């Protein structure tokens, strides 16, 4: 048991602990949580007064006023968590951005996953598992309810948890070392494993560069309609870029083959004869691929 310090003055914004990217989740010694696709927000609660800070320390209290009002408790606490919007059964960053742009807050949720300060005590040196236990206790004692949510975790095989999360189309998992303190930097105390989706999309056009392509425009067949899915501009070498250009030059079309054409002044349109194998994180609320990366080109899907 780590000895807790005596009550001292509540600090200002604390630089957040960041997770290190890994290809696999650890099997033991860690707590495993769903990775939320939202805005990292640190809440400072002081006897009914609340402030919300972004991961860079910007004061976004007004933008998240629905969250801070819900956390109106006669306690002193600094809580680390994520503001999200749930859409289609999982957190969706694009929907969150759209709501914030409109000034809409009725769908905002706050997943609390760490407790850094409580009633005059700095908790950062305490083990992760003890901080989470105290956070759970705070939720229970103050009868906190949505839009405030306690971020549940599992112990055991993190990779097994990640595989289940991937099947449910979650963004990934964050694994936190159970006996580690809170450290304001990127370290191995927190590890993240991201899930990606992969699919083949018909190439409907491209942007030229001097030796190949700068970007590919993609579509998707939905029934009888060919709809626009956005573009991909990373994932190839200069050599591969030239090879892609040679193949697409054989199917150049005078106009777009999309059912509902889009305006792209730099586009060279093509017949949708080639398919791009693409990894992507998500599909935005506008129906476009997010964080896409090219993996290959084929003549047939």
Instruction: Note the pTM of the prediction, 2 decimals.
Output: 0.73
Tens of pLDDT along the chain (301 residues) come to 444 444 578 999 999 999 999 989 999 999 999 999 899 999 999 998 999 999 999 999 999 999 999 999 999 999 999 999 998 788 888 788 888 988 999 999 999 999 999 999 999 999 999 999 999 999 999 999 999 999 999 999 999 999 998 888 788 999 999 999 999 999 999 999 988 788 999 999 999 999 899 999 999 999 999 999 999 999 888 889 999 999 999 999 999 999 999 999 999 999 999 999 998 877 887 889 988 999 889 987 5
Instruction: Write down the CATH number for the domain with range 197-298.
Output: 2.40.50.140
CATH 3.30.470.30 is held by the domain 18-194: yes
What was the pLDDT predicted at 198? 83
Residues spanned by CATH 3.30.470.30 within the chain?
Answer: 18-194
Taking CA atoms, 171 is separated from 36, 178, 207, 275, 280, in Å, by 7, 22, 30, 25, 11
Strand pairing category for 76-84 and 39-46: antiparallel
Residues spanned by CATH 2.40.50.140 within the chain?
Answer: 197-298
């Amino acid at each position: 048991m780590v000895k807790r310090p005596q009550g001292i003055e509540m600090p200002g914004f604390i630089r957040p602990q960041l997770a290190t990217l890994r290809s696999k989740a650890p099997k033991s010694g860690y707590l495993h949580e769903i990775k939320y696709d939202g805005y990292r927000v640190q809440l400072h609660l002081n006897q009914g007064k609340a402030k919300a800070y972004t991961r860079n320390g910007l004061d976004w209290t007004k933008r998240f006023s629905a969250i801070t009002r819900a956390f109106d408790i006669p306690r002193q606490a600094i809580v680390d968590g994520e503001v999200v919007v749930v859409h289609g059964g999982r957190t969706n960053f694009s929907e969150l951005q759209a709501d914030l742009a409109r000034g809409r807050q009725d769908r905002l949720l706050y997943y609390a996953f760490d407790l850094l300060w409580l009633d005059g005590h700095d908790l950062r040196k305490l083990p992760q598992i003890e901080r989470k236990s105290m956070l759970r206790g705070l939720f229970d004692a103050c009868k906190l309810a949505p839009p405030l949510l306690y971020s549940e975790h599992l112990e055991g095989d993190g990779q097994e948890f990640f595989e289940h999360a991937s099947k449910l189309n979650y963004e990934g998992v964050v694994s936190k070392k159970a006996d580690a303190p809170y450290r304001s930097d990127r370290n191995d105390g927190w590890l993240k494993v991201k899930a990606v989706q992969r699919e083949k999309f018909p190439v409907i056009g491209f942007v030229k560069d001097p030796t190949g392509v700068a970007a590919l425009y993609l579509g998707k067949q939905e029934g009888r309609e060919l709809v626009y899915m956005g573009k991909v501009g990373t994932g190839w070498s200069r050599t591969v870029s030239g090879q892609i250009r040679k193949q697409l030059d054989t199917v150049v079309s005078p106009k777009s083959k999309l059912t509902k054409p889009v305006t792209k002044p730099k586009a060279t349109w093509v017949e949708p004869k080639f398919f791009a194998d693409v990894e992507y994180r998500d599909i935005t609320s506008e129906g476009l691929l997010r964080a896409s990366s090219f993996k290959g080109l084929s003549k047939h899907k």
